[in-house]
Chain A
C-alpha cells in the first residue's frame, strides 16, 4: 500500500514538474526551500537583499525563500561555521584570494559548468575575479571604484585643480598643508585603509603586474621597487599630508574631518559618498578624481572590490541556487539593485545600465576607459589572509613611524617566506 502511494506520489511530482517546466517556458519549477545567508546588513543593502528574496519567492510559488542576514563584520568570522555545519544554499562573500580558504577546503561549489552553459551573459569581464585553480566559484553582484574623494569648494578656494601627475599632487598637497589643513583624511585603526594607500602607490609606482606578483608572494618585500613605493609614500607623510592621530580612528570616524574641512580629500571606496552626503556635503562641495600618475611607464591599475554570491558545496537545493544566481546577475536586476534606490554602486553585468549619479558615472568611466593596467580587488582580498593581516599592521606602523621601515620590511619578508 505504502509503496503504491509512494510511486504514485513520485509520478505526480514528475508530472507537475514536467507541466511546470512546460508552463515556465524552459524553466524547471523550483520546489522546496532556498536558504540564503547574507552579510548585507547595512540599512540600504539590507532592504535590497530582502527585496530580492521576496521577489524570487513570489516568482516561484512552490519555493519558499528563507533569508538570514548576518552582521557584515561578524560574517567574516562566522562564515566558516556556517559553511562547515548545515550549509545553506546561497551565501555572500568576496572575490579573488579572499575565496581561497573555502575553495581549497572544498566548501564552495565549483560552478564552472553554469558559467560554461551561458547562465551569466554579460559577465565575461568579471569572470577572472571569480576564477581560482582554473574554475569559477561564484558570481559577483556589485562592485565599486576606489579613488580620491575631495572637497571641491576648498580646492576652488585655494585655486587648485584635480591633479593628474604626482608633481601636481605634491604641489596641491603643499598648498593645502600651508593653508593649515591635512591633504588626506584616513582612519587606520582597523588597518585596511592603509592597505588602500599601499595598493595605489604600488600600482602607480611599479604597475599592476608587479603588485600582483607581490600579492602572490613572488617578489620579496625587501625588493628595491617596494622601497621606492614606500619612498613616495614617505614624501606625503613627511610633508604632513595625512591626518594626525589617524591610528585612533576608524574610517567613519575620520569622515568628520572632511566634512568640517580640516582635511580636504579621502582615498576611499565609493561607499563613503553616501555617508558624506548624509553628513551634509552637497555634490557641489564633493568631487572625485582618479589617483594620479606617478610613473608614466606603467599602465593605470585600479582597486574595484567585488562582492559576490556563492553556493556552498553542501547546498541542498542546488537547482534553486542556480536559478537565484542567474536571477541576481541578470541585466534587469543588476540595473535595479545597483541603482540610486539600491546599493548605489556599479552593476557587474555589461548589459545593465549605470545609475545616473555623479560618482557612480565617474567611477564607471574610469574603470572602463582608464584602467588598462588591470583591476585589483583590494589589499586584503588580493593578498592571502595571513599576509594581509601582518602587512597591514606594518603599513600602519610605517604611517606613524616612517623611520621603522627597514625593520617592518624585514618582518614582512619573514612572514612572506613562511606563508607562501
Chain B
C-alpha cells in the first residue's frame, strides 16, 4: 500500500507542470486568440475613444487637450439633439419587428402544400443587403413615380414626399428597416415554435384555452428564449442603423434623419469631417446608451444560467 502511494507520487512528480495543469491551461490557450483580438479590436479602442474625446484633433496634425469641451458643445448642438431623438425613435419603433415577426411565424406555422416556399419568400428580405433594401424603398417612396404615391392616388390622397419631408423621413427609413428585421424575428420564432411542447398545447386545450389565451398563457411562455434573442438582435439592429440612412437620405433633408452613429461618422470621418475628438465624444455617448442594454442582456443571461443550474 505504502509503495503504491510512493509510486503514484513519483509518477506525478515526473509529470511536467503543463501536464498537471492541462485542465486549466487548455481552455485558456483556446480562448487566447479570441481574447487577444477582442482586446485589441474592441476593448482598447473603447478606451482610446474615451481618451480622444478629450482632445481637439483633426486626425492629421497634433492633438490639443480640451478637457470636457467637446461634451459641453454636444449639450448645445442641435444636430446632436436631433440625432439622439432619432435614435430613440429607432429603438422604440424597431421593436415592432418582434410582434410582427411573431404573427407571421404563427401564420406560417402550419402544414399546407408548399409552405417551405412561403416561408422562404417571407424570409427573403433578410437575405437582401441593406443597401438593396434602402434602394428599393427609396424608389417606393419616390415623390412622383413611386409606388406608394400611385397607391395613395387610388384613394384620392395627395402625394407624399416621405423622404423629402423632415417630419416623416425618419419614420420612412424605419419602415424600410422593419421589413428585413421582421423577417429575422419571424425565423427566430419559427424555430422557437418547433420546440413548443404539443402535450402542453393539448393539456391547455382540454382545460378550455383558445385563441389569445392559448397564445398568451401557453405558447408565449415557451417562446421566451426566442423572444429574448429577437429583442437583443432588434435593439442592436436599431442602434447600428447606418446603411439605410446613408443610402436613403444621406442624413438629410438638412440633417433630420441622422442618428448618433451617422453623425459620428460625418463629424470624424466624412468628407468634411475633421473632428476626431468631437466624433469620439458622440461615440462615447452612443456607447453609454448601448451599455444600458448590454448590461441588461448580460444580467438576463446570467440569471437564466443561475436558474438552469438550480
Contact = CB atoms under 8 A, between A and B. Distances in A.
Interface string A56-76: 000000000000000001001
Interface in A72-93: 73, 76-77, 80, 83-84
B61 A105 contact: yes
Nearest to A414: B76
Interface string B241-271: 0000000011011110000000000100111
B71 interface: no
For A80, A101, A190, A245, which residue has the most chain B Cβ atoms within 10 angstroms? A245
Contacts of A393: 252, 254-255
Interface string A387-411: 0110001101100100000000001
A191 B60 contact: no
Contacts of A102: 60
B272 A394 contact: no
A327 to B, nearest CB: 29
B220 to A, nearest CB: 42
Contacts of A76: 271
Given A247-B252, A400-B253, A101 B270 contact: no
Contacts, number: 68
A189 B142 CA distance: 13
Interface string A255-299: 000000000000000000000000000000000000000000000
B272 A380 contact: yes
B254 A248 contact: no
B253 A397 contact: yes
A343 B282 CA distance: 41
B283 interface: no
A215 B254 CA distance: 21
A221 to B, nearest CB: 16
Contacts of A341: none
A73 B272 CA distance: 12
A380 to B, nearest CB: 7
Nearest to B146: A248
Given A105-B58, A107-B60, A190-B250, A248 B271 contact: no
B164 A191 contact: no
B78 interface: yes
Interface in B152-200: 161, 163-164
B143 interface: yes
B274 interface: yes
Contacts of B274: 101, 385-386
Overall SS of chain A's interface? helix
A248 B48 CA distance: 38
Contact of A248 (B59, B143, B272, B275): B143
A77 B163 CA distance: 26
Contacts of B273: 385-386, 389
A104 interface: yes
Contact of B60 (A73, A105, A388, A411): A105
A32 interface: no
A89 to B, nearest CB: 19
For A385, A388, A411, which residue has the most chain B Cβ atoms within 10 angstroms? A385
B61 A106 contact: yes
Contacts of A245: 143-144, 161, 164
A244 interface: yes
A127 to B, nearest CB: 25
Contact of A411 (B78, B161, B266): B78
B271 A247 contact: no
A248 B161 contact: yes
Contact of B254 (A101, A385, A386, A397): A397
Nearest to A380: B272
B135 to A, nearest CB: 12
A324 B274 CA distance: 30
Contacts of B138: 248
Interface in B82-140: 138
Contacts of B163: 248
A388 B272 contact: yes
A396 B252 contact: yes
Contacts of A73: 271
Contacts of B269: 77
A179 B250 CA distance: 34
Nearest to A253: B142
Contact of A247 (B59, B78, B253, B275): B253
Interface of B: 58-61, 78, 138, 142-144, 161, 163-164, 249-250, 252-255, 266, 269-275
10 contacts: A80-B60, A83-B60, A104-B61, A245-B144, A245-B161, A247-B253, A248-B161, A386-B272, A386-B274, A397-B253
Interface of A: 73, 76-77, 80, 83-84, 101-102, 104-107, 189-191, 244-245, 247-248, 380, 385-386, 388-389, 393-394, 396-397, 400, 411
Given A105-B58, A190-B250, A389-B266, 11 more contacts: A105-B60, A105-B61, A189-B252, A245-B161, A248-B163, A386-B274, A389-B271, A389-B273, A394-B254, A397-B254, A400-B253
The 7 A-B pairs of least Cβ separation, nearest first, read: A389-B272, A105-B61, A105-B60, A397-B254, A245-B143, A385-B272, A247-B253
